[in-house]
Amino acid sequence: MKNRETEQRLRHEAKTWLEQGKVDYIIGFEPGSLKFTTTPLITKDRDDINRLVINPFIVNNLSVYLTEIKGRVGIITKGCDNRSIISLIQDNQVVRENIVIMGIPCPGLIDLSKVELWLGRDRDELDDITRDGDRVVITVDGKEREFSATEVLFDNCLSCEFPTPQEYDVLLGEASSLVTDKIASRKKIETLEAMSQEQRWQFWKGEFSRCIKCYACRSVCPACFCNRCFVEETEPQWLLPVPRWQENLMFQIIRNIHVAGRCTDCGECERVCPVNIPLRSLTKKMYELVDDLFHYQAGMDKSAPPLLTAYEYTDAEDFIR
C-alpha cells in the first residue's frame, strides 16, 4: 500500500474511533516545521485528523506518550514502537484495553544525516526525497540522484527483525519486506569490539566528555519510565549534577542496565542526541547480550514476565559468582 493510500485509511479509522467514542485521543505523526521531518500529533479533535501523515520520516517512538496520557488512546505504531508498547504492558505501565493500536508495516526510515553525508549538502538544500521500494531518489538543484535504500536508512532499520507490528487492532497494509544490511548496521559496534579495553575506555571518555546532560536520550525512550530517575535522586545521591565525563558515562551505563530487556532498538536515543554520541553502540550491544545470554527479545509477548523478574536454571549466572 502506498503512503497516500495508507494515510487515507489511517485518517478514516482515526476519525471513526474518535466519533464513536472508542478513544479519547489519537497519537500519530503530522508534518514538522522543517523539511523532511514529522512531529508527534496528540489530539482529541477530529478536525486535526487530516494532518496525520505516513512517510519515510516518522521517526518518533510514540509509545513514550502512553504512560503520560490519561484515558483511552488510539496510537499509530511501526514495528519497533509496537514492541515498546508490548514491553510497557508487560511492565504494567500500560493497560492493553485502554489503547487501540493501528499498525503500520514499516519499510525502514530515511536517516537525513546519511543523506547529507552522501551529498555533501544540508537537508535544507534538498528539493525532494522519495522512496520507491529498495531505491531512494533525491532531487537537488533540479537533478535526481538515486541511492540504494540500504545506503540511507537508519542503522537500526538495517537490522530490524520485526518491521511489521505484531500486536494491533487494525493493520494498515501487508507485512513489509524490509531491505537489510546487517553488516552496515553493526559497523560502529564492530569497530568498538575490535578495540582493546583501554582504547574503548578512551573512546567513551572522549564521547562522554561532550555530553551536555540534556537527558533527551532519556526523554524519548519508552523504556525509561521511572517516575523519579536515579540521576535526580539526592538521598542517596548516585551521581553528582556536574557535567563531568565520569558522571555522564555512569548515567548511560546505569540507563543501559535499566533498559536491558526493554529496549527494542528503535534508535531514538541516538537520533536525538544533540552532540551525536553513538548511543546505539551501547543499547544495541546490550540488546544482543540479553538475547545471547537469556534468549530474550523485548516486547514479543505481552503475557510474558519482564526479563529481570523471571529466572531459569539455564540462565547465565557468572555475574553472581
Q: Which residues contribute to the site for ligand SF4 (CB under 6 A)?
A: 61, 78-80, 106, 108-109, 156-157, 160, 163, 178, 211-217, 220-221, 223, 259, 263-269, 272-275, 277, 279, 283
- Nearest distance in Å: CB 120, ligand SF4: 25
CA 146 from chain centre, in angstroms, equals: 26
The nearer residue to ligand SF4, 61 or 90, going by C-beta atoms, is: 61
Cβ–Cβ contacts within 10 Å for residue 112, how many?
A: 21
**What residues are paired with 99 via a beta bridge?**
73
In whole angstroms, the minimum distance from the beta carbon of 321 to ligand SF4 comes to 28
CB of 260 within 8 A of CB of 147? no
Of 213 and 244, the one with the shorter C-beta distance to ligand SF4 is 213
- Tell the smallest beta-carbon distance from residue 221 to ligand SF4 (Å): 3
Q: Name which of 140 and 304 has its Cβ closer to ligand SF4.
A: 304
Whose Cβ is closer to ligand SF4: residue 101's or residue 109's? 109
C-alpha cell at 71: 484515558
Q: Is the dihedral of CA 200, 220, 156, 230 positive or negative?
A: positive
**How buried is 319 (Cβ within 10 angstroms: 0-12 exposed, 13-18 middle, 19+ buried)?**
exposed
Query: Which residue bears the cell 540504494?
Result: 148
Q: What would the grid cell of residue 182 be? A: 546487517
Q: How far is the CB of 78 from ligand SF4 (least distance, A)?
A: 4
How many Å separate Cα 22 from the centre of its chain? Answer: 27
User: Could you tell me the smallest distance in angstroms from the CB atom of residue 63 to ligand SF4?
Assistant: 9
For residue 44, the one-letter residue type is: K
Cell matching residue 237: 545521591
User: Based on CB atoms, which residue is closest to ligand SF4, 13 or 111?
Assistant: 111
CB of 259 to ligand SF4, least distance (A): 5
